[in-house]
Amino acid sequence: MIKSLLIANRGEIACRIIRTARRLNIRTIAIYSAADRQALHVQLADKAVPLYSVGKEAFSATDTYLNQALILEIAKAQGAEAIHPGYGFLSENAGFARKVSEAGLIFVGPSADAIAAMGSKSQAKHLMSEAGVPLLPGYHESDQSTATLQKQADEIAYPVLIKASAGGGGRGMRVVQSSSEFAEALASVKREAKAAFSDDQVLLEKYLPNARHVEIQVFADSQGNCIHLHERDCSIQRRHQKLIEEAPAPGLTEATRQAMGEAAVNAAKAINYSGAGTVEFLYQDGEFYFLEMNTRLQVEHPVTEFITGLDLVEWQLRVASGEALPVKQDEIKRQGWAMEARINAESGAPDFLPSTGAITHLAWPQDEQVRVDAGFRSGDRISVYYDSLLGKIICHGSCREEAAARLSAALAQLTIVGIDHNASYLGAIVDTAAFRRGEVTTAFLQKHHEAIAASLATRAMSQPQTRAAASNTASLTSHAGHHAGDWGALNAWRTQQSEASRRYHLDALYLSPRFAGGTPSPATSPEALSGAGHAGEAQRHIKAPLPGRVIALQVKAGDKVEAGSALLVMEAMKMEHTLRASHDGVIAELHCNEGDMVQPDQLLMELDA
């Protein structure tokens, strides 16, 4: 068994790995950026080493958790025998895995070759086709010219999904509804892919509007054994990022479960896989199609652990140490039902802006059948430099109904003060009749937004700490709700909206973070934000609604723009946000450059009517 382990990650996953390693008597070494000096994973580890030198503080992921040379240097200096990459950051970086092995250390994960095989989604599609795994219609070839991609998208027929070939975690993806939208969406995906993955190659897939996202947890060892640990449903998503996951997937026949499990094992065997991995499928109308394979442990792995009674991090460490899988396929039993909700630092619907700042009070729910995987406590600060995940609440029940009821109650018990969070919104989703019936698809949030609004209102009024805020917000939106379309009811219950987000409404700007349909929410239209729609000084000054980095300027001084035109793109907490003009006008002056870090309310540009 491995004796000393460096965890090349942060937050809740680093804490999760440390706790399992401690139980196995493995010495743990944490690394941290200047923003994470007081982080929980730093306090839990046996040893913690900064990813910067004295007088040269480093905050960004590029300078810290993605600094391969520095991480390897620390691992050697601290006598680490192995490196666990967690998920995110370097977990699916074939080059890093290879460097770890070449340094004489153990990479807790698959081989560099296996990561590379699935790291390119285009290559993965070809491999899966050869292995007999069903694929969606699409384009996965090397010609990346805009003309070729446009032509292929037109032939596939809209809606079409543009996806970064090297992407993951919901980043670098856009749904395009028509040919006229394609060029702008392609440019956005390529820009985001280049920034996030250093690779702007994309692939195209037919978008299934009523699909379900069903994935299979696979595990393999170095002796050639490979099994699956049943399926999970991750269909409840926003911007292609999962919000609620459950295991098993509701409504599947046993024949479909078996077929998907066999296909997932075949996919893993096709690349001589070793360790934990997830094979993701889209499922619609009784058919399933290969989506991608994530060559790492995933955020939602606790629901699989709950229904199998296994510790998958322990399995990772044992397999990395050369041990064989401890059980055979027919020994993997499924017990009860589990659900997980991802708690993110973000404002309420419909804009879901990232929230940063100090957590003045945090109390996670307490229950024997409730598990909390968290990396934050009272007093911690949420930084703009990393993603918005605070932690996960996972609940188990003897059946789906019991698990859902337990999750709803746990989300109501969660208390976070000082920053915005999405627990009430997640609870509202779980409380809808459609969710309780298991009618989950990737379009769930759009299809059932009125029901979510109603249950969100009910939850708000049943929790004393949110009643005053709900009342204030309701009175604010009552006179303008007719402008907000179907989102009007939900807009009235934005009880946890940050001050920066409120100011953004008064500035009559609107953000277009590309919800799954590829268009801005009706509630964030210029009319909804400006009430009567009059032009004024607030509309002239385009200000940053949240802290982040300007990654693309779409206009220059003197340009004429129309209402809804893209002005600039910001990146905050691993998501892109497009600021658009609230009215027709001319760009009078720019006050920012590409690459600038900006703060809330910072003047970015001026727009004359």
What is the C-alpha to C-alpha distance for residues 244 and 235, in angstroms, rounded to an integer?
A: 8
Q: Are residues 123 and 266 in the same domain?
A: yes
- Residue 79's pLDDT is 98
Q: Are residues 216 and 306 in the same domain?
A: yes
Evaluate whether residue 158 is within a structural domain. yes
**For 211-231, how does the pLDDT look when each residue is reduced to its tens digit (9 = 90+)?**
999 999 999 999 999 999 999
What is the C-alpha to C-alpha distance for residues 28 and 19, in angstroms, rounded to an integer?
A: 9
Read out DSSP for 87-145?
SSTTTT-HHHHHHHHHTT-EESSS-HHHHHHHHSHHHHHHHHHHTT--B-SEE--S---
Pick the catalytic residue: 10, 27, 296, 494? 296
**For 164-189, how does the pLDDT look when each residue is reduced to its tens digit (9 = 90+)?**
988 766 678 899 999 999 999 999 89
Q: What residues pair up with 460 in beta bridges, in sequence order? A: none
Angle at 446 between CA 442 and CA 451, to 5 degrees: 115
Range scoring the smallest mean pLDDT among 110-119, 141-150, 456-465, 466-475: 466-475
What is the C-alpha to C-alpha distance for residues 525 and 518, in angstroms, rounded to an integer?
A: 14
Q: Are residues 295 and 224 in the same domain?
A: yes
Nearest to 201 by CA among 121, 318, 107: 121
Q: Are residues 57 and 165 in the same domain?
A: no
Residue found under tokens 């009618």: 439
What is the C-alpha to C-alpha distance for residues 313 and 299, in angstroms, rounded to an integer?
A: 12
Q: How many domains does the chain have?
A: 4
Any catalytic annotation for residue 494? no
Residue found under tokens 């406590």: 377
Q: Are residues 117 and 77 in the same domain?
A: no
What is the C-alpha to C-alpha distance for residues 312 and 303, in angstroms, rounded to an integer?
A: 11
Q: What is the mean pLDDT of residues 126-139?
A: 89
Q: Domain range for residue 161?
A: 137-206
Evaluate whether residue 150 is within a structural domain. yes
First to last CA, the chain: 68
Average per-residue pLDDT for the chain: 85
**For 232-266, how does the pLDDT look when each residue is reduced to its tens digit (9 = 90+)?**
999 999 877 899 999 999 999 999 999 999 999 99
Residue 448 confidence (pLDDT) above 60: yes
Residue 547's CATH number: 2.40.50.100
Residue type, 216: I
**For 504-529, how does the pLDDT look when each residue is reduced to its tens digit (9 = 90+)?**
222 222 233 328 333 333 223 322 22
Retrieve residue 594's tokens: 């590409």
Cis preceding linkage at 547, omega within 30:
no
Evaluate whether residue 417 is within a structural domain. no
What is the C-alpha to C-alpha distance for residues 295 and 5, in angstroms, rounded to an integer?
A: 20
Q: Are residues 308 and 201 in the same domain?
A: no
Residue 321's CATH number: 3.30.470.20
Residue 100's CATH number: 3.40.50.20
Evaluate whether residue 301 is within a structural domain. yes
